[in-house]
Each structure stands twice: as structure tokens, then as C-alpha cells.
Amino acid sequence: MASERITRCNPFAFHYHLKLRRPFHDPDGRLVDPVIQHPVSGSSKSPLLAGLMSAILPGSGRIYAGRVFDGIMGMWMMYLVGNSAYNALKKERPIAGPLFGIAAGFVYLGEVYGGWRAAKNYQYSEENSFRMSK
């Protein structure tokens, strides 16, 4: 969950919140994105398919769910951690290799979860968007 949250904390997140028109400002002005959310009814995006796509190519499930920049950030994050693990293992570093390998595993699982969660909770529709006039 932490890996998925780090990927969602990118410069483009504010745009997604505006598009969904949900209440997202804390009284002190921080951007709030709750962990527990309600699924979007009537969404045409399959959470299972998004999760499977991210399992094959990390980040692609988020792109399928319409969160293109989150998907790109997820791909980039997976590349950085995976490449670090590969290079550390290739150079036979006994501590860095396994640590980066474990981190790459967590990022990978976070991407699968993130694709599933993006398709389930972050779909825009008129009936599910928060009205600013409320």
C-alpha cells in the first residue's frame, strides 16, 4: 500500500482530484486522498483486468483505468528500483542486492494493487462526482 501511495503522490495528482470533483482539502489546506473509498458504480473499467495488466507490465493497469500519469510514474518507479536491484545483484553486492530485490518486489505488488484500485475507485462519472455547489 505504501508503494502504491508513493506512486499516486505525483505532480499530476491534483488534476485527478479536480476531475473527480471530490472533497479533497483538509481544513489546513493539505490534499487528502483517503485509503478507504467506495467503489464507483457504473464504471466500465474492470479492476481485475487492470490488476492483471499491471502484473504483466507494471503501470499499464493505471493507464487502462485512465490515470495515465500515475501509470507512467509507476513504470518509472518500477524501472528505478528494478534496475537498482539488477545492478546490485549483477555486481554481487551481498546486502544491497537482496534489499533492492525486496524493494522491487514491494513496488511490483504495489503496482498490481494500484492498477486494481485505480479501476475500482478512481473512475469519473457524473453520478459519482462531488458537486462543488453542495
Domain limits for position 52: 1-12+45-134
**Residue 127 within any structural domain of the chain:** yes
User: What is the number of domains present in the chain?
Assistant: 1
Strand partners, 31: 25
Q: At what angle do helices 96-121 and 68-90 cross, to 10 degrees?
A: 160
Across all residues in the chain, what is the average pLDDT? 79
How far apart, in whole angstroms, are the C-alpha atoms of residue 38 and residue 30? 21
**Residue 31 within any structural domain of the chain:** no
How far apart, in whole angstroms, are the C-alpha atoms of residue 51 and residue 49? 5
How far apart, in whole angstroms, are the C-alpha atoms of residue 54 and residue 41? 22
Q: In the structure grid, which three cell numbers stand for residue 109, read together? A: 505488488
**Residue 84 within any structural domain of the chain:** yes
**Residue 35 within any structural domain of the chain:** no
pLDDT tens digits along 27-72: 665 556 655 555 556 568 899 999 999 999 999 999 999 888 889 9
Least confident of 33-37, 70-74, 107-111, 127-131: 127-131
Q: In the structure grid, which three cell numbers stand for residue 43, read together? A: 464504471
**Residue 89 within any structural domain of the chain:** yes
